[in-house]
Amino acid sequence: MKIPFSEISSTGARYTLNNLTVPCDKRDFELQGPIELSCSLQRKGKDRVVLQGMVQAILLLRCSRCLAGFPFQVHANMQLIYELVDAEHCHLKEVDLSAGELDVIELLEPVLDLEDVARQQLYMALPVRQICSEQCLGICPECGNNLNDSTCDCKRDKKNSPFDVLAALKNKEK
């Protein structure tokens, strides 16, 4: 949903989208149902729009240890300022810190795309470590078995295992 700055008033307006989907790269995440976005938009002068609201969605992420998919709930509050800049000065412009805590996002056209807003928020909400649980055992490097589901008979290097010590001794003898 694209909203031109000209439609945004200085008194503000609310937008609620319950059935939003955005294109996403399956290597990053998949959507488990629609995204919910609700926000208010308020025009500040000619080239600024203040956005306040929230995005929520359930994503399917892939565990980096066992490679299984697991659900991840996003509930992100947003307080953003969108500012129109002209392309030539975009990179030269100093960031205006007077806005305090608010993030200032520069736009080249006076149009706010709520799909883009939602997509950016989802990416920002992704956890740094994507694991299905702290206790995840990962997959067996020998046979590829998911060790959370079942064990296998492969010999694996386990730290502090007495078998390691024996194996090391045997190697020394060779």
Q: Which of 4, 1, 6, 46 is nearest to 19 (CA)?
A: 1
Q: Binding marks (x or -) toward Zn ion, 122..141, rule CB under 5 A?
A: ----------x---x---x-
**Among residues 142, 149, 151, 161, which is the contact residue for Zn ion, using CB under 5 A?**
142
Judged on CB neighbours under 10 Å (0-12, 13-18, 19+), 37 is: buried
Q: Binding marks (x or -) toward Zn ion, 47..86, rule CB under 5 A?
A: ----------------x-xx--------------------
For Zn ion, the closer of residues 16 and 151 by Cβ is 151
Q: Which of 41, 53, 35, 2 is nearest to 123 (CA)?
A: 35
Q: How far is the CB of 140 from Zn ion (least distance, A)?
A: 3
**Among residues 92, 143, 168, 169, which is the contact residue for Zn ion, using CB under 5 A?**
143
Alpha-carbon distance 166 to 164, whole Å? Answer: 5
For Zn ion, the closer of residues 49 and 63 by Cβ is 63
For Zn ion, the closer of residues 32 and 79 by Cβ is 32
For Zn ion, the closer of residues 142 and 149 by Cβ is 142
For Zn ion, the closer of residues 56 and 148 by Cβ is 148
Q: How far is the CB of 131 from Zn ion (least distance, A)?
A: 5
Is the distance from CB of 29 to CB of 60 less than 8 angstroms?
yes
DSSP 56-113: EEEEEEE-TTT--EEEEEEEEEEEEEEEE--GGGTTTPPP-GGGTT-EEEEESSSEEE
Residue 152 C-alpha from the chain's centroid: 34
Tokens of 35: 């995204």
Q: Name the residues that contact Zn ion, by CB under 5 A.
A: 63, 65-66, 132, 136, 140, 142-143, 145, 152, 154
